[in-house]
Amino acid sequence: MEAVVNVVLPVFAIVLAGFACGRLRLLGQGGSEALNGFVYFAALPALFFGSLAKVELPQIFNWPYLIAYLLGMVPTALAALLIGRFVFRTRGGALAVQNMAALFSNTGYMGIPLAITAFGRDAALPAILATIVNGAVIMGLYILWIEAQRSTASHHLRVARDAFAGVLRSPLVLSAIAGILASAFAIDVPAPLLTFCDIMGAAAPPAALFAMGLFMVGKSFKGDLVEASVMSLLKLILHPLATFALVAWLIPVEPGWRNVLLLMAALPTGSLVFVLASQHDTYVRRATGIILGSTLASVVTLSWLLDYLGV
């Protein structure tokens, strides 16, 4: 319980700091948009490139772990799609962001420190890999979905072309590809560049959380409580249960990595969902509600999981 609280409370404190600065009008107009631009175009690309370039390719492709992590999201994605489409009547790009909010774990800001606290330094690598998969694969897929919805073309091939063009314009996808290529070809990245990436990348999670707090000023979330609660339940209950079933009966993962995998699946919704929603100006308020609601509820669910894992 203490380990969870020590990670969750700082998350809320950063959001609260952003909200307070917004209420006091210390940053002027457009502070949230400017911070999101910084995260999306500068800090996250640096984080993705630096993380991938420093990891050897065989370490990146731990297939049982990666397959279980990705397949564990599928039942949640399908459930969120059906509920979002037919219960909450969500459409277009908003449906994509809503779906992402139901399965995109806060692996970076919460997952890595919590994994190290709970399981030791050896847990850092699988937690970092989950963060990389989120940024390079999951984020790319949802950008593709949103861009396909935004395309004005009438022909299916043109829609696909526009969608892929949108993905390839994303600095997140491009930086991930560059990092993987640097790792694959054993490129000796200059130390100053890696240091730059480390410093810049470290700013991404707190900046995104702070921007969320700024965005909350003057917003009402009362009408979104049911939707936020349902999506939070999918994230905190269905997602880890589906992952547990996979590793228990279908995909064997070594015990140390399995524990981290279950922890990553059980994490609340990550703040990058807010960043993507803001960047495409869709589902921003409701995404914020899901992130905050799932983070608060995760104090209970993560405490139970860590107790089950013997921490």
Q: What is the CATH number of the domain that holds 272?
A: 1.20.1530.20
Residue type, 190: P
The reported pLDDT for the residue numbered 121 is 73
Q: Which residues contact 113 (CB under 8 A, 6 or more apart)?
A: 7
For residue range 246-299, list pLDDT tens digits in order: 999 999 999 889 999 999 999 999 888 888 898 888 998 899 889 888 888 888
C-alpha 236/C-alpha 54 separation (Å) is 31
Chain-centre distance for alpha carbon 39: 13
Return the beta strands (E) in the chain as ranges: none
Identify the residue with better confidence: 236 or 189.
236
Chain-centre distance for alpha carbon 11: 14
Half-sphere exposure of 119 (CA within 13 A, CB side): 23
The reported pLDDT for the residue numbered 98 is 96
- Overall average pLDDT of the 75-104 stretch: 95
Residue 69 pLDDT level (bands cut at 50, 70, 90): very high
Choose among 47, 64, 45, 44: nearest CA to 55. 47
Overall number of domains in the chain = 1
C-alpha 144/C-alpha 160 separation (Å) is 9
Parent domain of 195: 2-23+30-308
- Overall average pLDDT of the 138-151 stretch: 80
C-alpha 87/C-alpha 38 separation (Å) is 35
C-alpha 97/C-alpha 141 separation (Å) is 11
